[in-house]
Amino acid sequence: MEHENAVKEALNALYHHPDDTVRVQADRWLQNFQGTLDAWQVADNLLHDSSSNLETLIFCSQTLRSKVQRDFEELPPGAFQKLRESLTTLLKKFHKGPPKVRTQISIAVAALAVHVPAADWGDSGIVSWLRDEMNMHPEYVPGFLELLTVLPEETFNYKIAARPDRRRQFENELTSQMEPALSILTACLNITELKEQVLEAFASWLRLRHGIPGSLLACHPLVHAALSSLNCDPLSEASVNVISELIHYTASPSSGGISAQTPLIQVIVPQILSLKAHLRDSSKDEEDVKAIGRLFADVGDSYVELIATGSDESMVIVHALLEVTSHPEFDIASMTFNFWHSLQLTLTKRESYNSLGSESSMEAERNRRLHIFRPAYESLVSLVGFRVQYPDDYQGLSYEDLKEFKQTRYAVADVLIDAALILGGDTTLKILYMKLQMKLLEANAQTGNNFQEWRPAEAILFCIWAISNYVSVVEAEVMPQVMDLLQKLPQQAQLLQTACLLVGAYSKWLNATAPASDSILPSIIRILMSGMGTSEDCAAAAALAFRHICDDCRKNLSGYFEGLYTIYCMAINGAGGYKVSAEDSLNLVEALGMVVTELPLDQARSALEKLCFSVASPLEEAAKENLDKKHARELTVHIDRFAFLFRYVNHPEAVAAEINKHWAIFRVIFDVRPWDMRTMESLCRACKYAVRTSGRYIINTIGEMLAKIQFHYQQHHQPCFLYLSSEVIKIFGSDPSCADYLKNLIETLFAHTTCLMTSIKEVTARPDIADDCFLLASRCLRYCPHLFIPSPIFSPIVDCAIVGMTVQHREACHSILTFLSDVFDLEKSVNEEQFVRIRDSVIIPRGATITRILISCLAGALPSSRLDTVTYTLLALTRAYGVQAVGWAKESVSLIPRTAVTETEATKFLQGLSDVTYGADVNSLIGHAEELSDVCRRNRTVQELVQAALKPLELNLVATLS
């Protein structure tokens, strides 16, 4: 009773104590208790105790369910019978008790069935056992029905710590018992009050996708019961779930597919189509309409390939789906959006027509289908456009409401793109422009002002923006009128923001229509200038549009640099009321950089000099003051502009001249603020782009740049120094004239890094350094192996990688494993025997350790999301060292207790590894690695047992190497 009382006291404290600290302590104690062996008996006792309150019953039922799912292996052999008897008694006890408790107990019984083979339940498994229990105890049928409902659901519940083989067996056991299960449910249909529960159970069993013939299901009483319930008011939720699952079932390959299920489809589709009138019935409950919309959407999604043939029957479904799309409630209308996308893909992709053979036949059929579906997609454009219109109370929208509205707009934009792919962008544009003209005429007739009500016009302009990538750049009918209209828009923030986005989206059209567009460009630039002074959001859109126009119209704009430079200066200085943020100003820097690229070299030098001077001046002013006291943002805003200029001005000589000219201010910042991560990251980024663009032209500066990196890295350990070094290695790694100082750079950086990370704890504390260090190491393997592999630092950096293999930081872990893979795959990139010999002299003595850590990573030392990377590293090791690597793996796997991994499971994995050495498909190894991972992670106890056996964090490299 001691444990039972402790649980009750903790629950009372958790739910009723006024002190938060006490509640947190109680919650922690209860969670820890659930992991103990005593929890089995205590939870069982309290559930059987008639004095237990609801809080106790819920907690104990959850505990028992969790223990059966995760910790069944804790129980001694033969405990199954007693546990099943106890759970059955509880299921009977709570058959009319609290639903939450009954559900947890039902799930516990179902989880027990996953663990225990069918033979232990009787002749035919749990379904037959359940049928017998229901026959003997008809008064408990409701409770047993819930168990029958959750049984199929637990097939795919990976919280249950079952071995993969047993999970597959259980699925096969259930699918073989489909007909007996449906017979039980059919018998229960006679009990009127259980009809909903029976249908929910039927829907659950249909999710198994077992191949029952369509002809049998078409006349099955359960199917007819579900169909007849569709006419109930209110609509039966369970019947909707059944029909939905039937639709998915008929389209599932495991059920034989649509052709095998035609009899069933012919029964259910007409019944669904008969519900179309309810979509327009304003008296119908919204949830019922939503359920009907869901059924129509399911029909469309599941039978899209059939619908795409364009038969008369399929067009009835298409028109019904248009009816759903037209529903005023977006939640209902949007259910069909996936169908319109899937139909577009089916109609346009080549694979849909491959069976026709000849190109002419394929093209003819494609054109036939597109012609049939054009009216539907034309209607679709009209039906969805209004949904992007700002609401009347848009100014009062909360952050969450505004976020949801934006998501709605982007969802509609995707639908319009689907329409444009069927109709063609130009046709879609005409439809939208006609609607815009109608809205403007209506507004003019009502108020005498086309833009008195700006929202409808803004909505259609947004739609025109959405399809910009699909409108021909030579479209000459509508776009000139649209561009003309933009110049007449009022200074309304949202309207102007959309106009700026639209201008930027059609920058390729503006360029293609030159010289006609030359007369438009000045007025377009004025629109963008207005946008920059209207609001921050509008300024952001204008800056982005400015970038697009300068990118695509750079040749036409190259003669206007001075005017563009004036706009740029006004924007970044905030003159004229411009509201361009520092971040958005980078779009303007990029824009001018692309225009400068089009200038002849002499003019480009002058233009870039002017731009760099405007950027350097504030930095030089800051340097005259207390530079080390400045906030990082005061510096990085200017340094980032340098980075963008060096990145987007594609004149290597001009960029090299500017970095050389302004190196003095860069040097000062390196020396004064090496401790400031944000500033150093910004500075290194600028240097990276200068190196990347200038190449060998920067050779005079690179030596001092690398000297700064080496010196400051040893004191301040900034990861960005390593990243900048990676870029230098990529550009100059194979240059013989740079070999001496690159060799010195590599050895200095790596020597210091290996001293920083001598344990997994230190790697975990510095994940950014680990990430950039091993990115640099991989670059060295690729671009300067002649400097890296023979150097004395190669062996220590491999040891450092081994130490960090189990780091939990995703990017750092990926970089470490990728580096090791690159080492193992050395022959792919470096075809020199001397380097392979050096590599082997380093890897072979460490091979057993590396393999053991990799297997521990598969088995749970790393998250399962890293499985692909770990498996590839193990694959690369095996390909490089063949039978020797398999031997290392065998040694490691032999350490795992057979209670955790059976001999059969271990042999499967090792055989998959062995097969790779003989050229087998790598996918087989991936499958075996995933299965070993599942087995070792099936619950916390097993995972801890495996890790304790492999000890990946305790491996002594020195002992291994000695």
**pLDDT tens per residue across span 783-827:** 999 999 999 999 999 999 999 999 999 999 999 999 999 999 998
CA distance 879 to 198: 55
> Per this entry, what is the length of the chain?
962
Residue 646 contacts residue 590 (beta carbons within 8 Å): no
On whether the CB atoms of residues 497 and 535 are closer than 8 A, the answer is yes
Q: How far apart are CA 271 and CA 102, in angstroms?
A: 35
d(CA 422, CA 420): 5
Contacts 24+ apart (CB under 8 A), 568-574: 568/592, 568/611, 569/614, 571/532, 571/539, 571/543, 572/614, 572/641
Six-digit token string for 407: 């998501």
pLDDT reported for residue 192: 87
- In 3-state terms the chain splits into helix, strand, coil percentages (rounded to 5) of 80, 0, 20
Task: Name the stretches of the chain with pLDDT < 70.
Answer: 211, 446-452, 516-518, 955-962
* Cβ–Cβ < 8 Å for 914, 837: no
Q: What is the pLDDT of residue 960?
A: 40
- Which spans in 49-98 are helix H? 54-71, 79-93
**How far is CA 701 from its chain centroid?**
42
- Please report the pLDDT score of residue 340 as a whole number: 98
Please report, as a single letter, which amino acid is at residue 40: W
- Report pLDDT digits (tens) over 559-577: 889 999 999 998 888 777 8
Element housing 837 (H / E): helix 833-843
Tell me if 112 sits within 8 A of 70, measured CB to CB. Answer: no
CA–CA dist 422, 346 (Å, integer): 11
pLDDT for residue 879: 93
Residue whose structure tokens are 């009062």: 396
> 225-261 burial, b for 16+ CB within 10 Å, e for fewer?
bbbebbeeeebbebbbbbbbbbbbbbbbeebbebeeb
For the chain, the C-alpha Rg in angstroms (whole number) is 35
How high is the pLDDT of residue 281? 83
Residue pair 858/932 in contact by the 8 Å Cβ criterion: yes
Give me the pLDDT at residue 450, please: 58
Residue with tokens 């804790």: 74
What is the C-alpha separation between 696 and 703, in angstroms, rounded? Answer: 12
Is residue 55 packed enough to be buried (19+ CB in 10 Å), middle (13-18) or exposed (0-12)? middle
Could you tell me the CA-to-CA distances from 913 to 847, 883, 918, 921 in Å, in that order?
15, 9, 9, 11
Task: Indicate yes or no: pTM above 0.75.
Answer: yes
